[in-house]
A and B are shown apart, each in its own frame.
Chain A
């Protein structure tokens, strides 16, 4: 693969030191499905799947991509203030998301729309914060899916603390903490690694290395492959083909079981690519080459699973048509749902600042209401 050269990346590795720089796809990448759609085995991560399961994963990938595309369009139409697309990362998210058990808990960044889908979170819930009607607002405990976290890496500590609580409860659940290659440089992520390791917490750190932290390539974050960071903290690290839904499923399932069985944390680096912009406010043409994006197109997670289903005769035209129809239906529901999403009452500002009464907030609410009532019609907006 091609990685944009930087002065640092061009620098030769020291003699005798293996060239394991982050951007280099090393041979240790776990893969179960080749980009051509051929099933391969990995000695450490066996996976048996039924045709139904494969079709179900395909459906997830297609629907998640459709939802994402719809949200991007809605942003372009002015219905959302911003959107962070997951385009290209569907397999990493669906594979890891489907590896979770009902009692497990996920701590997402702001791009884990595919994981949310797997946790059965209503896609419309995810759009509230991007439309500006709330900051998330769903009940994290309803689907064991925490609120989106925007400050980079903060949620890895929350995940670790939550996992420490699981240990205290004597439960056999596990936690998965999502973050990206950029976040791997954050102090919080490294502190999370430390706490998780020291307390043997049942948490899986799932790093989607999508090669770009807005405009900064992975070579700006690390000089070794990210999964190898784990060894310095004393737990296993695995690099998986992030565009291979089967490999992501198998490796995450193993890691979650490893963690829930009292063996401590695991770091998974899902090697993938952000096909779109960082967010709808970004312009990737300023910092990366079209050829690079083109090269990754050939590794598309959906095309390779479709190729596999076709080659093995595991799905017929009726199935694909059914998924397509479902996708259309989802798109319509999302469009209509967003457009009819009401603005909150302005007094939302004062709700839930505290869970118990607070004199200042109560006073300011009363002042605001009095002020608003002083306008003709009793409403100021």
Chain B
């Protein structure tokens, strides 16, 4: 492709390719047809592939998820769009109780090649229930895979890889980055569940995913002016987590800081901190620190910047890590 595409367009192209490549691939969701989805990710697809493959569903998330499971049992490869992060909870039961467990309870006799696309995270000044980061709920559930891209290239290829996977994948789209542009290469370049060092450094490792990767890259650029060389790792996959890449980086830098929008308490950062402490104990110069949301409902948009980790909050954590 080698073109400059927005993340939104890169996702749209990925869905188009997936529909072209496999006649069993079907898209399901609310307003994904004529409207092209509220974020236009499915723009033009129903026109080109028909109502039979790009399905506007009733407004019932559990119904969408449950019927997608039935279609998968019939041999289809459904790609489900949940309109906003906060609307996935009506489907939570079908995802956790049915989708995640079906392969195991059938002792491998059936597969659930379902991709659940969810725009997630804040920073767009939205109303309640439109800015949540719920990756920890899904990552905590065995049987699900959870991935989230941070740039156009990954958005395109990780979505195609997710759709091709025979396991259920929760595909979290960083909605505030939908309009960020980047080059989309000719091939994926990386396996789906691998982390990637997006900026090499020596003094500390910033670990982030989705919308926070950009923040961490900005942090690294600013810190460099102060003479600090920060490594930035884009996790890309939240379940499974590529601990080998994280371990290698943190052993080298001696410091790790995990950054995510979701509340810190019981979050993905806690798991990463615990495991890296076990694996890198004798290499650590400081405890693994976490920067993230507070233990509060996602706030009204006028104060969401206080809730969301930003340049200053991450820099503050870097200072604390370096002070040990």
A interface residue numbers (CB < 8 A to B): 134-141, 146-147, 149, 151, 154, 156-166, 168-169, 187-188, 191-192, 194-195, 198, 351-356, 358-361
CA–CA, A135 to B66, complex, Å? 19
Are B167 and A151 in touch, CB under 8 angstroms? no
B177 at the interface (CB under 8 A from A): no
Task: Decide: B108 and A162 in contact? CB cutoff 8 A.
Answer: no
Are B70 and A159 in contact, CB atoms less than 8 angstroms apart? yes
Q: Is the CB of B106 within 8 A of A140?
A: yes
Beta-carbon contact of A158 and B106 below 8 Å: no
The answer to whether A352 and B70 touch (CB under 8 A), given A140-B109, A141-B110, A191-B63, is no
Decide if B76 touches A160 in the complex (CB within 8 Å): no
Q: Within B91-128, which residues are at the interface with A (CB < 8 Å)? A: 93-94, 97-98, 101-111
Expressed in whole angstroms, the Cα–Cα distance for A138 and B108 within the complex equals 9
Instruction: Give the docked Cα–Cα distance between A351 and B107 (Å).
Output: 8
Q: Which residues of A contact B301 (CB under 8 A)?
A: none
Task: Report yes or no: A161 in contact with B66, Cβ–Cβ below 8 A.
Answer: yes
The verdict on B4 contacting chain A, using a C-beta distance below 8 Å, is no
Question: Which one of A139, A156, A159, A165 lies within 8 Å of B106 (CB-CB)?
Answer: A139
Q: Which of A138, A146, A168, A188 contacts B62 (CB 8 A)?
A: A188
Of B52-60, B150-158, B262-270, B316-324, the one contacting chain A is B52-60
- The residue that B166 contacts in the complex, of A136, A146, A355, A359, with Cβ under 8 A, is A355
Which chain B residues lie closer than 8 Å to A192 at the CB level?
Answer: 63, 66-67
User: Do the beta carbons of A164 and B107 come within 8 Å of each other?
Assistant: no
A163 to B74, CA, bound (A): 8
B105 near A359: Cβ-Cβ < 8 Å: no
List, in ascending order, chain B residues with CB within 8 A of A356's CB.
Answer: 165-167
Which residues of A sit under 8 angstroms from B60, Cβ to Cβ?
191, 194-195
Alpha-carbon distance between A245 and B23 when the two chains are bound, in angstroms? 42
B side interface size, CB within 8 A = 47
Contact between chains at B58 and A194 (CB < 8 Å): yes
- B76, B103, B105, B108, most chain A CB atoms within 10 A: B105
Contact (Cβ within 8 A) A195 B62: no
Q: State how many angstroms separate the Cβ of B245 from the closest Cβ of chain A.
A: 11
Q: Closest CB-CB distance, A236 to chain B, in whole Å?
A: 20
**With known contacts A151-B97, A154-B98, A168-B52, A163–B103 Cβ distance under 8 A:** no
With beta carbons under 8 angstroms apart, the residue of B98, B108, B240 that contacts A158 is B98
Question: CA separation between A187 and B103, bound complex, in Å?
Answer: 24
Inter-subunit contact A165/B75 (CB<8 Å)? yes
Residues in A neighbouring B193, C-beta threshold 8 A: 359
Instruction: Give, as a whole number of angstroms, the nearest-CB distance from A164 to chain B.
Output: 6
Nearest-neighbour CB distance to chain B for A180, whole angstroms, equals 17
In the complex, the chain A residue whose C-beta lies closest to that of B61 is A191
**Contact across chains for B63 and A352 when beta carbons are under 8 A apart:** no
Are the CB atoms of B66 and A166 closer together than 8 Å?
Answer: no
Q: Chain A residues near B210 (CB, 8 Å)?
A: none
B106 & A147 in contact (Cβ 8 Å cutoff):
yes
User: How far apart are the CA atoms of A163 and B167 in the complex, in Å?
Assistant: 22
* Interfacial chain A residues near B111, Cβ < 8 Å: 355
Contact, CB under 8 Å: B62 / A161:
no
Contact A195 to B58, CB < 8 A, known contacts A141-B110, A158-B70, A161-B71: yes
Question: Complex formed: what's the CA distance from A166 to B70 in Å?
Answer: 10
In the bound complex, do residue A198 and residue B98 qualify as a contact, i.e. CB atoms below 8 Å apart? no
From residue B259, how far is it (CB to closest CB) to chain A in Å?
A: 22
The answer to whether A355 and B103 touch (CB under 8 A), given A139-B109, A140-B109, is: yes
Known: A160-B66, A359-B240. 20 other contacts (CB 8 A): A139-B109, A159-B70, A161-B67, A161-B68, A161-B70, A161-B74, A164-B70, A165-B74, A168-B76, A188-B94, A191-B58, A191-B62, A194-B63, A352-B103, A352-B106, A353-B142, A353-B143, A354-B103, A355-B108, A355-B167
Contacts A194-B60, A360-B240 given: A154-B165 contact, CB under 8 Å?
Answer: no
| A162 x B104 contact (CB < 8 A) | no
Chain B residues with CB under 8 Å of A146's CB are 73
Q: Once the chains are docked, how many angstroms separate the CA of A373 from the CA of B189? A: 39
Give the CA-CA distance A134 to B104 in the complex, in Å. 9
Q: Do B167 and A162 touch (CB < 8 A)?
A: no
In chain B, positions 159-176 with a C-beta closer than 8 Å to chain A are: 165-167
Does B62 lie within 8 Å of A187, measured CB to CB?
Answer: yes
B57, B67, B68, B193: residue with the most chain A Cβ atoms closer than 10 Å: B67
Chain A residues with Cβ below 8 Å from B166 are: 355-356
Of all A-B residue pairs in the complex, the 10 with the closest CB atoms, nearest first, are A161-B70, A157-B66, A165-B74, A161-B67, A191-B63, A135-B105, A139-B109, A162-B70, A158-B70, A137-B107
Check A352 against B58 for contact (C-beta < 8 Å). no
Query: Given A191-B62, A359-B242, are A354 and B143 neighbors across the interface (CB < 8 Å)?
Result: yes
Question: What chain B residues lie within 8 Å of A188 (beta carbons)?
Answer: 62-63, 66, 93-94
B107 and A352: CB pair below 8 A? yes
